[in-house]
Amino acid sequence: MDKPITLREELGIAWKIAGIRLRGQMAYRTSFWLQIFGNFFTNFAEVLALFAMFYQFDTLGGWTLGEVALLHGISMIAFSLGDLLTVGMDSVAPQIRSGDFDRVLTRPLGSWMNAATSEFSLRHLGQALQGVLVLGFALTQVEIAWSIDKALLVPVMFISGIALFMALFTIEAIFSFWTVNGVEAINAFTYGGSDLAQFPMHIFGRSLRFIFFWIVPVGFITYYPALYLLEKPDPLGMPDWFVLLGPVITTIFCAVVSWGWNQGIRHYRSTGS
Amino acid sequence: MPIIDVHRLEKTFPIKKHRTGAMGSIASLIRGDNGGEFTAVNNVSFKIERGEMVGYIGPNGAGKSTTIKMLTGILVPTSGEATIAGLVPWEKRKQLAQKIGVVFGQRTQLWWDLALIESLELLRHLYRVPEERFRENLATATDLLGLGEFLHTPVRQLSLGQRMRGDLAAALLHDPEILYLDEPTIGLDIVAKEAIREFLITLNRDRQTTVLLTTHDLDDIERLCPRIIVIDHGEVMYDGQLASLKSRWGGRRQLIIDYAGDPDAAIASMGNGDMAVTEVDGPRVTIAFDRDEISAPDVLTRASAFGEIRDMSIQEPEIEDVIRRMYDGSIPAGM
């Protein structure tokens, strides 16, 4: 086959690989469910903290429990699905250290796709499930006047959110091309970003807001869509069209990360022998 | 047109100055490494025709693996050119992957947690091998490599020899034009080594697969590779027929003679340039001789003057010795 592989074919292959690996994991059914439930409960603390907070206060920065729960739900779903789709990125650093990353580069798949599919696990579905429950709860608490533009916003919001977290998890892997000791500091942006995105951004200070809008743009994937859905005025005073910035900034962010990944691949040194 | 064409390939690595801690790592990222450079591959050129089986040999750290990694597209060279099956590996890595098979003896490309057959299924999807072709290739590999008995065993439970056979089958599922083998027989017992060599010979004969093989096992070379390329310190030291390397530089055969009793002590000074006694051990005498200068029967005739000969044997020069001498610098490099 001489034709270069198309993205569509790559996705098809990734899907089949995931299927085969999943079947392998399903052979250990008990362990499979335990992982999912384990993941569900380890993330339960976040939800408890939310309810504990609203046990004390009625609103947070002018937002009710249901409204903040909406942010939580969106962020948790985007974060966990982004994590799920890039599980393989966690193994890039150890693979580089052991030299097994060579393997990723001898296969006829894009290096990113190949690295992302080198591991697969559904345990993050536990957190995603929790996100769905929290989102469901939020929707019983808030009134959303549904319209076509709002309905269209929902898939755009989730897709850019998932893509953004996938890019963030990729950044962690990119650093490992240069330094064999993973730079844990990146976690502050990944995990910190998902935590911040669960709250109305205007309650944070100016510098934190700057970072999480303009450098790691998590603010755009939960906060502005939520404002739009709830038809709340923006205390930060930004215009309405800011809601559209999410997908735009995410696209730019992903393009930069993709460039960085390719630099990393070019820089890859392999190990002796 | 040669299927592998390498021209003045060079790869240097920066030497890392060690900085510790997170801040050190970040400093390295920003300022780069300033510990100088190390040239792993230096001005390497060679051409390999379709269907050749070539041994790429050299001591540890000579630059063998680094070269192979550039030829597969894993590493980007510092300078130089290479065309593999018409493609520049580091530019068309994905397309090239479809045309080459790679076996690293020390690593597997199989998935530890899956049965061998499942790993092969996965690779079938990865390489987009049509179902029918997959069945044929799997049947051939199962037949020649005896995969049948462990096809359904998880890879982590396979013995090294079984795993290596599985890896070979995996590397050939997509009918690659070129097969790179990096230490394919390392750590295997003699039976397993022989099975793999037989398989490679069959493959090369029946499918004209081009094979480039790195190894430390000189038996592999003797059995498989009519042509060798010797590399040391990143440079090609010899490129040519194994046979001519042996006759040109390893040309001295050894005649081992067992006398009925201890031979005349004067034997130690027998010979004049065309042959020499290298060892006298009681009744056993070893004589090295140059086959272009003197024939074995002549050596024997002359040796018979020193006592009654009971038995004798001839040893061919060993490639190992030749190459060791080449590494030591006692043989002039180059042709």
DSSP 3-state of B198: helix
Query: B31 at the A interface (CB within 8 A)?
Result: no
pLDDT attached to residue A272: 55
pLDDT attached to residue B113: 81
pLDDT attached to residue B22: 63
pLDDT tens string for chain A (273 positions)?
456 678 888 888 888 888 888 877 777 788 888 888 888 888 788 888 888 888 888 888 889 999 999 999 999 999 999 999 998 898 898 888 888 888 888 888 889 998 988 888 888 888 899 999 999 999 999 989 999 999 999 999 999 999 999 999 999 889 888 876 656 777 788 888 888 889 998 899 899 999 899 888 999 999 999 999 999 888 888 888 888 888 999 999 999 999 999 999 988 877 654
Of B69, B93, B127, the CB nearest to A270: B69
**Minimum Cα–Cα distance from A119: chain B residue:** B111
pLDDT attached to residue A122: 82
Q: Would you state the structure tokens that stand for residue A270, as one six-digit string?
A: 């392999």
pLDDT attached to residue B332: 56
* Assigned domain for A113 exists: yes
Q: Would you state the structure tokens that stand for residue B17, as one six-digit string?
A: 């100055």
Q: Give B-chain residues touching A184 at CB under 8 angstroms.
A: 22
Q: Would you state the structure tokens that stand for residue A229, as one six-digit string?
A: 């859905």
Task: Judge whether A266 and B76 are in contact, CB under 8 Å.
Answer: yes
Query: B128 at the A interface (CB within 8 A)?
Result: yes
* Assigned domain for A53 exists: yes
Query: A5 at the B interface (CB within 8 A)?
Result: yes
* Assigned domain for A1 exists: no
Query: B335 at the A interface (CB within 8 A)?
Result: no
Nearest alpha-carbon partner for B207 in B180, B175, B184: B175
Query: B26 at the A interface (CB within 8 A)?
Result: yes
pLDDT attached to residue B334: 47
The share of chain B scoring above pLDDT 70, in percent, equals 87
The distance of A182 to chain B (nearest Cα, Å) reads 9
Q: Give B-chain residues touching A17 at CB under 8 angstroms.
A: 122, 125-126
pLDDT attached to residue B261: 85
Task: Judge whether A84 and A236 are in contact, CB under 8 Å.
Answer: no
Of A1, A184, A185, the CB nearest to B128: A1
Tell how strand B252-259 and strand B284-290 pair up: antiparallel
**Minimum Cα–Cα distance from A178: chain B residue:** B29
* Assigned domain for A168 exists: yes
How many residues belong to chain B?
335
* Assigned domain for A2 exists: no
Interface test with A, best of B124, B128, B174, B181 (most A CBs within 10 A): B128
pLDDT attached to residue B103: 92
Number of domains forming the structure of chain A: 1
Query: B109 at the A interface (CB within 8 A)?
Result: yes
Q: Give A-chain residues touching B98 at CB under 8 angstroms.
A: 1-2, 108
Task: Judge whether B127 and A10 are in contact, CB under 8 Å.
Answer: no
Interface of B with A in 32-91 (CB under 8 A): 60-61, 65-66, 69, 72-76
* Assigned domain for A109 exists: yes
CA atoms of A265 and A269, how far apart (whole Å): 9
Q: Which domain holds residue A86?
A: 7-267
The distance of A192 to chain B (nearest Cα, Å) reads 18
The distance of A269 to chain B (nearest Cα, Å) reads 7
CA atoms of B52 and B209, how far apart (whole Å): 8
CA atoms of A148 and B283, how far apart (whole Å): 104
- Decide if A272 and B65 are in contact by the 8 Å CB cutoff: yes
Q: Give B-chain residues touching A24 at CB under 8 angstroms.
A: 111, 113-114, 118
CA atoms of A136 and B286, how far apart (whole Å): 91
The distance of B125 to chain A (nearest Cα, Å) reads 6
Alpha helices in chain B (DSSP H): 21-31, 64-72, 93-97, 116-126, 131-145, 160-172, 190-207, 218-224, 242-249, 296-303, 319-328
B193-202, B274-283, B304-313: which range is least confident on average?
Answer: B274-283
Q: Tell me the pLDDT tens digit for each residue of B32-46.
A: 556 678 888 999 999
**Strands of the sheet with B275-281, listed across from one edge:** B275-281, B284-290, B252-259, B309-315
* Assigned domain for A160 exists: yes
Task: Judge whether A126 and A43 are in contact, CB under 8 Å.
Answer: yes
H-helix or E-strand spanning residue B41: strand B37-48
CA atoms of A126 and A182, how far apart (whole Å): 26
Please list, in sequence order, all residues whose beta carbon lies within 8 angstroms of the beta carbon of residue B94, skipping any fewer than 6 positions away: A4, A5, A108, A109, A110
Average pLDDT score over chain B: 85
Q: Hunting for tokens 């730079």 — which residue is that?
A: A183
Q: Which amino acid is at B3?
A: I
Q: Give B-chain residues touching A266 at CB under 8 angstroms.
A: 76
pLDDT attached to residue A41: 83
Pick the residue with more confidence: B183 or B253? B183
Provide the pLDDT confidence category of residue B331 given band limits of 50, 70 and 90.
low
Provide the pLDDT confidence category of residue B293 given band limits of 50, 70 and 90.
confident
Inter-CA distances, B73 with A59, B97, B334, Å? 57, 8, 28
**Minimum Cα–Cα distance from A25: chain B residue:** B113
Inter-CA distances, A84 with A117, A125, B243, B292, Å? 10, 7, 57, 71
Q: Residue B173: how many CB atoms within 10 A of its CB?
A: 20
pLDDT attached to residue B23: 63
User: Residue A121: what are its φ and ψ, rounded to 5°?
Assistant: -155, 145
CA atoms of B64 and B236, how far apart (whole Å): 10
Mean pLDDT value across residues B137-142: 91
Query: A90 at the B interface (CB within 8 A)?
Result: no
Query: DSSP assignment, residue B283?
Result: T
Q: Give B-chain residues touching A179 at CB under 8 angstroms.
A: 25, 28-29
* Assigned domain for A78 exists: yes
- Decide if B114 and A20 are in contact by the 8 Å CB cutoff: yes
